[in-house]
Amino acid sequence: MQDFLFSGWGAFWVTLFMLMPFAAMLAYIVYRKSVFDTGPGTTPVKTLSKMEGIWLTFVFVFFVGINLGSLKYMPYIAEARAATSGLPLQEIDVTAKSWGYEMSSRQVEAGRPVRFSGRSVDTQHGFAVYHPDGRMLFTMLLMDGLKQPTTVVHTFKEPGTYKVRCLEYCGIAHHVMLDELTVVKSN
């Protein structure tokens, strides 16, 4: 089920489903005003502005509140927090070159933030890390010719073997541009 939701059609149906209440409401209002209740409205202006106030408060609390409240779960914010948490970072330098990676290490500890600093020496490559269950955790776009490396800070939660895949088409052997990371229990 979850796999389906994350597919293209899954996203399409979820979006359509979320629009249904609005479509139903619109259809109801149009139907009512054109069949049953065709005259001008009788609701006093005072009630209307009160309802408007209630609606605006709801919109603000619900939509703005949820957005603000979920900010800290955004990958970039979570990363920035990990990077400034004071825990010593595990550093891995990644150099992408058609069609493989050089890495300063392929083993990290779970529960401690890792900073991946990536470069490409020839063309555009990707560096996507996958959880052993197949979920993609993050990806970096590595472009050649940049002065600074591209960095991502990630804290692995569980030990295991994590796959690395290039997600930028980079030539004839793009599909074999794979690697692995081993996440071990922290001491």
Determine how many CB atoms are found less than 10 A away from the CB of residue 90: 17
Amino acid identity for residue 23 in this structure: A
- Residue 143 C-beta: closest distance to ligand CUA, Å: 12
Beta strands in the chain (DSSP E): 90-97, 100-103, 107-109, 113-120, 125-130, 136-142, 150-155, 160-165, 178-184
Binders in 108-127 for ligand CUA, by CB under 6 A: 125
- Residue 178 C-beta: closest distance to ligand CUA, Å: 10
Question: What span, in angstroms and rounded, lies between the C-alpha atoms of 184 and 162?
Answer: 11
Nearer Cβ to ligand CUA (79/168): 168
- Residue 181 C-beta: closest distance to ligand CUA, Å: 17
Nearer Cβ to ligand CUA (99/138): 99
Contact 127, 139 (CB under 8 A): yes
Q: What are phi and psi of 138, to 5 degrees?
A: -165, 165
Residue appearing with tokens 């609701």: 43
Binders in 139-178 for ligand CUA, by CB under 6 A: 166, 168-170, 174, 177
Question: What span, in angstroms and rounded, lies between the C-alpha atoms of 86 and 140?
Answer: 24
Determine the size of the site formed for ligand CUA (CB under 6 A): 8
Nearer Cβ to ligand CUA (55/169): 169
Nearer Cβ to ligand CUA (177/183): 177
Contact 126, 140 (CB under 8 A): yes
Nearer Cβ to ligand CUA (90/98): 98
Determine how many CB atoms are found less than 10 A away from the CB of residue 183: 21
- Residue 107 C-beta: closest distance to ligand CUA, Å: 22
Contact 93, 103 (CB under 8 A): yes
Binding track, positions 72-101, relative to ligand CUA; x by CB under 6 A = ---------------------------x--
What is the binding site for ligand CUA (CB under 6 A)? 99, 125, 166, 168-170, 174, 177
